[in-house]
Amino acid sequence: MSGVTRLCIVLCITIMLVGCGGAPAIDENQPSTKTIQPSPAVDDLTVTPTMLSTASANLTSVLPAATPSPRPTTMPVSGEQMLARGVVTQRLIAVMIDNHPAAYPQSGLDSGVLVFEALAEFGITRYMLILAPGISTESDFIGPVRSARSYFVEWAKGLEAIYAHAGGSPDGLLLSETAVEIVNLDALHGSTSSYFWRSSEHAAPHDLFTSSDELQRFITETGVAATDLSEQGFLFKPDAAPDQRPANQEIDYYFIYADDPAGWTYDSQANSYLRLRRGQPHIDARSGQQLEFKNVVVMEVLEQPIPNDPKGRIEQQVLGEGRARLFADGIEREIIWRKPVGFAPLRFYDSSGDEVKFNAGPIWIAALPTLEHLTVKGGG
């Protein structure tokens, strides 16, 4: 079954849920005061040929148009919005973000200092947005928030983050609730559901949001303990001079299905990368801007199905080390990722064993099952 066929299937199920009413509409500007109940997992419902036909007929009308607003002359990404070692003074916040087609367009990914992109189930990916209070730009809408997976929790452990999510897989929930390195913030727990709300702009279960203010309220009201954050973050360097940058570079990759790609286009003048999703600009719902990051890392992370899992979940080997590619200054570099144990932060090294230095700005990390799914054109 191709990626497009699977996309049609999940879209069709979303349409059916919307037609049945979905979740009750809640004022999107007011946080919920009740426990947020989990919605049925769309990816797990049974699909029939009739449903597939309906999805194909409605595919064009369901997906939002990817038309970016005019780019501002002063770009929102600055050298200060970066996760630099030695300057982090508050606990980082990791938020699980939905990437099901019914979740488009997402909000808040452009406010992060770091974003992880990795597989969930059935070829659909999920994001983990990393916010650094006092460094990240603030966002009044962050989401849709979705569920935990154990390998995302492992990355969050290395960041000693507050981990915001909505439920999760059995092993993901167990790890998020027991890992001492993180602070668990589950939207489906009655004690913490008030920091999230459901928006009428999306159909359940792709309608759960939070904000910078709500996340900060959680920190203040629960008295989140500080830790030694001196080793959190990465090393950075100045941008390459304009005359040392290539004119163009295109990065394309896919996770499982070649007809379901993601990618980046290099902007030599801004010395940054503009994100594409299925060949179209990936637009933030609130800003109307195409996502733009200074650094892109594509790392190879082996994955395999969890035996006998009824919902087709996968496991990914994010502990250890593996191959990776760094894209910065329009240049592709071979690097190595290392995370020896769960509590250790993820680090990147060059062929000489020296830790990689990134360009000043946010970093996007895509975890592919193989680097054979990566194609690069142009650049240096």
Domain hosting 294: range is 235-378
Give dist(CA 248, CA 184) in Å, integer: 42
Q: Domain for residue 301, yes or no?
A: yes
For residue 285, the domain's CATH number is: 3.50.90.10
Q: Supply the pLDDT for residue 19.
A: 37
Contacts 24+ apart (CB under 8 A), 175-183: 175/148, 175/150, 176/148, 179/153, 179/342, 181/156, 181/157, 181/342, 181/343, 182/94, 182/153, 182/156, 182/157, 183/91, 183/222, 183/224
Q: Supply the pLDDT for residue 321.
A: 97
Q: Domain for residue 319, yes or no?
A: yes
> What is the β-pairing status of strands 363-368 and 357-359?
unpaired
Q: Supply the pLDDT for residue 310.
A: 77
Percent of the residues in the chain that have a pLDDT greater than 70, as a whole number: 79
Residue linked to tokens 């928030």: 145
Contact between 247 and 378 under an 8 Å Cβ cutoff? The reply is yes
Q: Supply the pLDDT for residue 1.
A: 53
Residue linked to tokens 């191709």: 2
Give dist(CA 329, CA 230) in Å, integer: 27
Contact between 268 and 277 under an 8 Å Cβ cutoff? The reply is no
Q: How many domains does the chain have?
A: 1
Q: Which of 159, 153, 201, 200 is nearest to 179 (CA)?
A: 153
Give dist(CA 128, CA 96) in Å, integer: 5
Q: Domain for residue 43, yes or no?
A: no
- Residue 1 CB partners (closer than 8 Å, separation 6+): none
Contact between 343 and 157 under an 8 Å Cβ cutoff? The reply is yes
Per-residue pLDDT of the chain (380 residues; tens, 9 = 90+): 555 444 444 444 343 333 333 333 323 333 333 334 433 333 333 323 333 233 333 333 334 444 555 544 333 344 478 999 999 999 999 999 999 999 999 999 999 999 999 999 888 999 999 999 999 999 999 999 999 999 999 999 999 999 999 999 999 999 999 999 999 999 999 999 999 999 999 999 999 999 999 999 999 999 998 899 999 999 999 999 999 999 999 999 999 999 999 999 999 999 999 999 999 999 999 999 999 999 999 999 998 877 777 777 878 899 999 999 999 999 999 999 999 999 999 999 999 999 999 999 999 999 999 999 999 999 98
Q: Domain for residue 323, yes or no?
A: yes
Give dist(CA 252, CA 272) in Å, integer: 15
Q: Which of 96, 292, 118, 94 is nearest to 183 (CA)?
A: 94
27 token code pair: 């004022």
Q: Work out the mean pLDDT of the chain and round it to a whole number.
A: 84
Q: Domain for residue 3, yes or no?
A: no
Q: Domain for residue 75, yes or no?
A: no
Q: Supply the pLDDT for residue 70.
A: 55
Q: Domain for residue 130, yes or no?
A: no
64 token code pair: 């939002």
pLDDT single digits (tens) 9-39:
444 434 333 333 333 332 333 333 333 443 3
Contact between 114 and 127 under an 8 Å Cβ cutoff? The reply is no
Q: Domain for residue 254, yes or no?
A: yes
Distances (CA, A) of 76 to 79, 155, 194, 294: 10, 26, 30, 12
Q: What is the largest CA-CA distance in the chain?
A: 58
Cis ω on the peptide bond leading into residue 133 (within 30° of 0)? no
